[in-house]
Amino acid sequence: MTDLPDPWPAPRADHPVDAIVTLPGSKSLTNRALLLAAIADGPSVVRRALRSRDTSLMAAALTALGSPVDASGDDWTVTPGAFDRDAAVDCGLAGTVMRFVPPVAGLARGTVSFDGDPHMRKRPIGEILGALRSLGVDVPGDALPFTVRGTGSVRGGTVVVDASASSQFISALLLAGARYDEGVDVRHDGKPVPSLPHIDMTVAMLREHGVDVDDSEANRWSVAPGPIKPVDHLIEPDLSNAAPFLALAAVSGGTVTVRDWPRRTTQAGDALRDILTAMGCEVGFVDGPDGSGLRVTGSGTLLGIDADLHDVGELTPAVAALCALADGPSHLRGIGHIRGHETDRLAALATELGALGADVTEHEDGLSLVPAPLHGGVFRTYADHRMAHAGVIVGAAVDGVLVENVATTSKTFPDFAGFWSGLIE
């Protein structure tokens, strides 16, 4: 990757973009596959793993604990080992590392310290640390930095958490639960849990590994203690990271096909099919000589939407950018929890879209936007990869948009800016 100017002039798509793209693998699938492989009963391969900052941090964390991840090729191999040492884990800005690794660090015979980027110290983690304490893990504190003092085993059992701030609190406990002496029985008590598809993804992957999970009751998940079968995973393309590319079809009146879009998936990004249809795009699966995938064609006009994004909050930045370019008003609801993402995304979107002329109102749990003429300017990203996606979408439609720190996209997408420019220029 070449050095990028900062701020980066976002390429303007002054023609309908016609492209077929192969996207890197899913962050959420890759990091679950790596973690489960590291605590499984034998070696596994993670094929087409996403190579990005979040997944490299996960690989480094598991390697430091004692299960080496060989990431030298496209297919990563994971060899479970004894967690018999002290380790230091850098969480960067990866929620999946900060939330998923401490419950397995409790199984270590050693002291495991955790820290991360400056903003990571503000992202919510206290509920998990409290839950781990009540399951028998010695982990004082309620924010980064913290230290897990592992004893080689975790009692486990029943625990109540308020997961209204993040579904990752539930996923984290379930992923490690089969390795706890009594398994884990997690109940949620609080406002509705966001991002439920991500919990379904966790449950589905545990079952692939032969783990017995009961999710038959709302707000309760039970993992039985037992073996974790090694599994070779083939990682699907990251459907949430498809958002800016499909949005490019929508804003340029072109056609973009994302190859290998799964017909059935637990990825939250699959909701883009309905969202883009509601915004006036033509959306459908295609099978052709160039492979199969999802094709989106922009109609030249973008309709505003009223959408509850509670289940798919990570799509908000890209969707909000589209709403800022739409011909009618939009209301995005149910997403108060994304204030705890890589940045306070509601505040950041209101500020940055507003700075480019958008008429945005920030609510406690959402955003409303009404049509207004947009203009160029600097779009700040707050080290948030998906803010950069929002910036480039607007920049494709509006002259003179400069995206600050576009390199932050490396969290989940290698050389995003180069890939994006290649489609437009």
Q: Binding-site residues, please? A: 27-28, 32, 95, 123, 166-168, 195, 314, 341, 345, 386, 411
Q: Please choose, from the candidates 208, 195, 170, the residue with its C-alpha nearest in 3D space to the C-alpha of residue 33.
A: 208
DSSP conformation letters of 371-393:
------EEE--TT-HHHHHHHHH
Q: The tokens of 191 are what? A: 């406002």
Q: List the binding residues for phosphoenolpyruvate.
A: 27, 95, 123, 168, 345, 386, 411
Strand order of the β-sheet with 8-9 is 8-9, 401-403, 377-379
Q: The tokens of 405 are what? A: 């720190």
- Looking at beta carbons only, is 94 or 163 nearer to ligand PEP? 94
Q: The tokens of 282 are what? A: 């033509």
Q: Please choose, from the candidates 238, 239, 242, 234, the residue with its C-alpha nearest in 3D space to the C-alpha of residue 205.
A: 234
Strand order of the β-sheet with 255-259 is 18-21, 255-259, 291-297, 282-288
Dihedral of CA 124/125/126/131: which sign? positive
Q: Which of 341, 392, 398, 408 binds ligand PEP (CB under 6 A)?
A: 341
Q: Which of 30, 52, 63, 96 binds ligand PEP (CB under 6 A)?
A: 96
Q: Is 391 in the site for ligand PEP (CB under 6 A)?
A: no
How far apart (Å, rounded) are the C-alpha atoms in residues 219 and 338? 20
Q: What, of ligand S3P, ligand PEP, none, does residue 257 touch, CB below 5 to 8 Å by kind?
A: none
How many residues in the shown chain lie near ligand PEP by CB under 6 A?
7
Closest separation in Å from C-beta 399 to ligand PEP: 28
- Confirm whether 314 is a catalytic residue: yes
Q: Is 188 in the site for ligand PEP (CB under 6 A)?
A: no
Q: For residue 77, give the 3-state DSSP assignment.
A: strand
- Looking at beta carbons only, is 163 or 326 nearer to ligand S3P? 163
Indicate the helix (H) or strand (E) that contains 45.
strand 44-47
Q: The tokens of 88 are what? A: 């230091």
Choose the binding region for ligand PEP from 73-81, 91-99, 179-187, 301-309 (rule: CB under 6 A): 91-99
Q: List the binding residues for 3-phosphoshikimate.
A: 27-28, 32, 166-168, 195, 314, 341
C-alpha R_g of the chain = 21
Q: The tokens of 142 are what? A: 């309620």
Interface positions with ligand S3P (CB under 6 A): 28, 95-96, 166-168, 171, 194-195, 198, 313-314, 337
Q: The tokens of 41 are what? A: 């009963």
Q: What, of ligand S3P, ligand PEP, none, does residue 241 touch, CB below 5 to 8 Å by kind?
A: none
Q: What, of ligand PEP, ligand S3P, none, does residue 183 touch, CB below 5 to 8 Å by kind?
A: none
- Looking at beta carbons only, is 33 or 396 nearer to ligand S3P? 33
Q: Is 90 in the site for ligand PEP (CB under 6 A)?
A: no
Dihedral of CA 91/94/98/100: which sign? negative
**Given 314, 342, 352, 404, which residue is catalytic?**
314
Closest residue to ligand PEP: CB criterion:
95
- Looking at beta carbons only, is 90 or 342 nearer to ligand PEP? 342
What string marks each residue from 297 to 336 as x (binds ligand PEP by CB under 6 A) or -?
Answer: -----------------x----------------------
DSSP conformation letters of 241-300:
TTHHHHHHHHHHT-EEEEET--SS---GGGGHHHHHHHTT-EEEEEEETTEEEEEEE--S
Q: What, of ligand PEP, ligand S3P, none, does residue 386 touch, CB below 5 to 8 Å by kind?
A: ligand PEP
Q: Is residue 139 within 8 Å of 127, Cβ to Cβ? A: no
Closest separation in Å from C-beta 415 to ligand PEP: 18
Q: What, of ligand S3P, ligand PEP, none, does residue 147 touch, CB below 5 to 8 Å by kind?
A: none
Q: Which of 48, 273, 380, 386 binds ligand PEP (CB under 6 A)?
A: 386
Q: The tokens of 258 are what? A: 């994302």
Closest separation in Å from C-beta 51 to ligand PEP: 16
Residues lying near ligand PEP in the complex (CB under 6 A): 94-96, 314, 341-342, 386
The residues that are catalytic are 314
